[in-house]
Amino acid sequence: MKLLVGLGNPGAKYARNRHNIGFMAMDRIAADHGFGPWRARFQGQVAEGRFGSTKVTLLKPDTFMNLSGQSVGEAMRYLKLDPADVVVFHDEIDLAPGKVRLKTGGGHAGHNGLRSIHSHIGADYDRVRLGVGHPGHKDAVPGYVLRDFPKADEAWLDDLLRGIGDGIPALVAGDGARFLNAIALRVAPPRSSTSTPKAKPDTPPEPSLADDRSPLQKLMDRFK
């Protein structure tokens, strides 16, 4: 069994915030794979489904970001899971927008949601780090992550979430590389190898050399 956790803040006010990209990922997975309806449980919202023989519970904590660990810890204990069975999806300011990285264990890097989870279940869980970019200065980070994604980001964000939906069965099966590849195919699809290469411009003819011989010289050269 796997517990997939998306981090964010509950309520319509925060729904499109960069900080809520984890919630967005859970909603996409549930919609794409026909998971059961969301219902209140474990101080959050849960939806259940399967990938093959593996049962999966999706969790969106209702505790607000700073207390996410309360919800995750309660769910993990009730479901009798180990930290290794938990995968947390969260916003990552140290990655460019649309970039995704997988990580197991390690520090929380100041992310308050991860900090809370660390305090309740330890650090030995898996993370899906979803790049949202950096505002450029650490003092601007709180306001940056609590603002909505701008319209200019909607295209790559939609591609990213669709890629997560495509690849999540592979991640649950333990194939992280295939999961990341599914996202890459959405975010940066390969160019067709059958496309016609652009024609090279014709090379202009070299200019002819001017003939500056005198008429007498030309006549003499004919009889050489």
Is residue 33 flagged as an active site residue?
A: no
Catalytic choice (19, 90, 118, 137)? 19
Would you kindly state where each structural domain of the chain is located, as residue ranges?
Answer: 2-187
Q: Are 4 and 23 in contact (CB under 8 A)?
A: no
- Residue among 218, 9, 30, 182 at smallest CA distance from 112: 9
Rounded to whole angstroms, how far apart are CA atoms 101 and 27? 20
DSSP 147: S
Q: Are 87 and 2 in contact (CB under 8 A)?
A: yes
What's the whole-number mean pLDDT along residues 23-33?
98
pLDDT digits (tens, 9 = 90+) for 142-151: 999 999 999 9
User: pLDDT grade, residue 189 (50/70/90)?
Assistant: confident
Name the pTM for this structure. Answer: 0.84
- At which residue do the structure tokens 């997975």 appear? 29
Rounded to whole angstroms, how far apart are CA atoms 222 and 122? 98
What's the whole-number mean pLDDT along residues 183-199?
72
pLDDT number for residue 113: 96
Q: What is the CA radius of gyration of the chain?
A: 29
Q: Select the CATH number that applies to the domain covering 2-187 from these four: 3.40.50.1470, 3.40.718.10, 1.10.1040.10, 3.40.50.720.
A: 3.40.50.1470
pLDDT digits (tens, 9 = 90+) for 119-161: 999 999 999 999 999 999 989 999 999 999 999 999 999 999 9
Q: Are 27 and 138 in contact (CB under 8 A)?
A: no
DSSP 81: -
Rounded to whole angstroms, how far apart are CA atoms 8 and 18? 9
- Residue among 113, 128, 109 at smallest CA distance from 71: 113
Q: Are 16 and 148 in contact (CB under 8 A)?
A: yes
